[in-house]
Structure 1
Amino acid sequence: MKSLKENFQKANIVIIGAGIIGKFNALELSELGFQVTIIDPTQLKNSSNAALGLLMGNMYQKRRGRSWNLRKQSIELWPQWIKFLQKFNYELNIEKPLIQLTTNEEKFKKLEKFVFENNDPTLLILERDSILIKNINKAFQTKNIKGIISFKDGRINALSLLQTLDKYLKHKKVNYLQGEIIKIRKSNNQWISTTRNNENIKSDMVILCNSLKAIDLIDSRSHNIKLKPVLGQAIEIEINDAEVDLLSLPKQFNINGKNIISKSKNKLIIGSTDEYSTKPEKNTFEKLTNFLDKKPNWLEKGKISKKWYGIRSRPDGEPSPIMKNLEDGLIICTGFYKNGFLLAPACSKWVANEIKNYLY
């Protein structure tokens, strides 16, 4: 019988999809010694390039079940991976803390109860008289904003992370093919992935990380998986108000479901993932800036200096994400909805374990 190490060195794995999940799987598997090929027709246009990189794990309120276990594992794995990737980009880091805010009293009571019940020293209630709340209320010209702060959660620069992963994968000589896979089939214990140009790529295993398009490559009768398209979008707003310094705000926070990142004294980013659509609406500015009863003057007069969006997928009829071993040598990892960046380490660890079990 071949040793596990021999199996690893000879096993060839194809990953379809070059977003954060595909890249992270390639990272983990190449570290284990596998020969990895990533296939994606439009690497720079996938939804990961439109992500804000918020890592909201520890403040997740449902602390049981599969979703919490994945979050918990990723929270523990992220610092290890950051330390490892800093060899390729010393500036890469997780900016902490992360703040969740609301103007809804009922929602605040739930947040308050969550903090009290969990007795977690890394989670605190932000009282009305805290300097952070005072600065936020002053900037947004309101008195109603309250919330909680998590010192374990934060944000990683999504674009910087993706570029660092590319650097690492190039260093490891991971093969990257720019093609669209339209069909996969199994023949003589090998998987054959066929491109639109009729090129056949053989491998021992295939991992589907290509979001909505993953279900086009599997037998829907055997695997009843349904996905909905979800539009994630963000805008960078430039303000012209000498009295408002956006750097007085926390670096990353969430108000009533909208994610906000203070970029500079006069620029901020607002993002959200909440539309079942594939194209942004014309009133993007209104949709993303209407998270308070009354908009502050500086935000009302703000100008969009940049905007971007990405199509994500959300499972229909089952929890997010979909991580399944469909058949021998075929794994699917998709439907991460809002949490691709957060859950990437836990996903890649799960995939690696599945492959070890399959090969040994």
Structure 2
Amino acid sequence: MAVVGAGVVGLCCAWLLQRKGHRVLLIDPSLAAPGLTQKHALAGGSQRSGSGAALGVLMAQVFHRSRGRAWNLRQQSLALWHSWLQELAERGQPVSRRQGLLWLAAEPEEWQRQQALVAERQQLGLALELWDRERLSTLQPALPAGAIGALHSPLDGQIDPPAAMAALLADGRDSGLTTAGQRVGAIERDGPGRWRLLLEGGEVVAGLAHVVLTAGLASPALLQSLGSSLAMEPVLGQALALRRSAPGPWTWPGVAVWRGLNLVPRPDLGAEATFWLGATLEAGSRADPDQQARLRHWGDAGLDWLEQASVVEAWQGCRARPVGRPAPLHEQLQPGLWLVSGHYRNGVLLAPASAAWVLEQIEQTTPRP
């Protein structure tokens, strides 16, 4: 079988299928470099793929719904990330994870919603809790003075997408995963129950029982020749890496969210002063400088240490959002042809659950020997 697309969703699909005994070929132009590393995954200047641009914030237990498909996928994925990262570490591919998320309330209405959400989640046995302004004032560096309170989720948090992708790829290759650093030009039928891929270099990969399409915004064009109509639109997000002028401790319990923008402390990058800010929501694929300016100041945070920080890097990437349909798309388009795409803002979070869905569907439809 083949997985087309080596973003975080494609890598999770390929890794899980290979680990469960399937022979998998992973195809993506980004794999042309000999041995994908974290540096390679971030390559491409200020414009990156959706996965390469993501901050990797995991917001599962603070999701506003407590039931339904979106809720279930988030909880499944959060649990899978926890077990997968343990497994990767045991196999010599450790990926750091920042445990915990602090969602700051900027308005009384937001604080009321948080209180209701915590009461509801505690009835489900989840360890969410409310932090008042006094408790927030003890954290370093200072949080926005306008924060009324906060919701603390100890099991949500953040993982580094490029590091996770590199670990999945390396471990997958150790398990027998094969890769091709080429672009797929077309998907065609190859006789009864089989598919073939036409690569842009002229090579043909034939006799495939299953093709898993995880190519994001490139997916619609690949499906046109098969008569499948798929509407997907880009939603651009900008992000920044900054460094504080005076290094100091981070005593926050993980990621902090203020007015919809995420601030991620990154002491694992080599300095306690380093942090990430992201991400904006911009229709289309052209970055808005005003949006970046708002991001640079973490909305209206008004923090001296933030204003004095220097920008180390700025980047952007486009997420794939389905038009008129809920994200993500998990579909069997034709026998043996699977679409796993359109994750919008939650590609990193939902990648493991998407991979688990693919594995289940393929094993249900593959005859046992």
Q: TM-score under structure 2 normalisation?
A: 0.86
- C-alpha distance in 2, partners of 1:136/1:145? 14
Show the 5 A alignment for 1:158-237. Answer: 158-189=161-192, 190-202=194-206, 203-219=208-224, 222-237=227-242
| Cα distance change on mapping 1:305 and 1:261 into 2, 3 Å | same
Show the 5 A alignment for 1:8-157. Answer: 13-43=1-31, 44=41, 45-89=48-92, 91-119=94-122, 120-130=125-135, 133-135=136-138, 139-140=142-143, 142-157=145-160
**Structure 1 SS opposite 2:279:** strand
| Cα distance change on mapping 1:81 and 1:104 into 2, 3 Å | same
State the 1:76 CA deviation. Answer: 2.4
State the 1:28 CA deviation. Answer: 1.1
**Structure 2 SS opposite 1:240:** coil
- C-alpha distance in 1, partners of 2:54/2:138? 27
Q: Percent identity?
A: 27
Contact kept in structure 2, 1:92 and 1:161, CA below 8 Å: yes
State the 1:276 CA deviation. Answer: 1.6
Give the gaps of 5 or more residues in structure 2. Answer: 32-40, 42-47
Show the 5 A alignment for 1:261-300. Answer: 261-263=264-266, 264-283=271-290, 285-293=292-300, 295-300=302-307
**Structure 1 SS opposite 2:63:** coil
Deviations 1:181-221 (A, max 9, x none): 11111121321111122221112111110101011111389
| Cα distance change on mapping 1:173 and 1:138 into 2, 3 Å | closer
Deviations 1:316-359 (A, max 9, x none): 10101011111101001111112111111111111011111221
Contact kept in structure 2, 1:56 and 1:153, CA below 8 Å: yes
State the 1:155 CA deviation. Answer: 1.4
Give the gaps of 5 or more residues in structure 1. Answer: 1-12
Identify the residue that residue 244 of structure 2 maps to in structure 1: 239
Deviations 1:116-167 (A, max 9, x none): 123244100111222xx11459724514342201112111222221111121
| Cα distance change on mapping 1:228 and 1:178 into 2, 3 Å | same
- C-alpha distance in 1, partners of 2:2/2:185? 14
Structure 1: which 4+ aligned runs deviate by more than 6 Å?
A: none
- C-alpha distance in 2, partners of 1:115/1:15? 40
Identify the residue that residue 7 of structure 1 maps to in structure 2: none
How many residues align? The count is 344
Give the letter aligned to residue 133 of structure 2: R
- C-alpha distance in 2, partners of 1:38/1:60? 32
Q: What is the RMSD of the two structures over their aligned residues, measured on CA atoms?
A: 2.2
Contact kept in structure 1, 2:256 and 2:264, CA below 8 Å: yes
State the 1:250 CA deviation. Answer: 3.6
Identify the residue that residue 359 of structure 2 maps to in structure 1: 352
Identify the residue that residue 327 of structure 1 maps to in structure 2: 334
Deviations 1:24-76 (A, max 9, x none): 11111111211111111124353212222211111111111111111121122
Q: TM-score under structure 1 normalisation?
A: 0.88
Give the letter aligned to residue 338 of structure 1: R
**Structure 1 SS opposite 2:224:** coil
Contact kept in structure 1, 2:189 and 2:195, CA below 8 Å: yes
Contact kept in structure 2, 1:56 and 1:154, CA below 8 Å: yes
| Cα distance change on mapping 1:72 and 1:265 into 2, 3 Å | closer
State the 1:284 CA deviation. Answer: 5.6
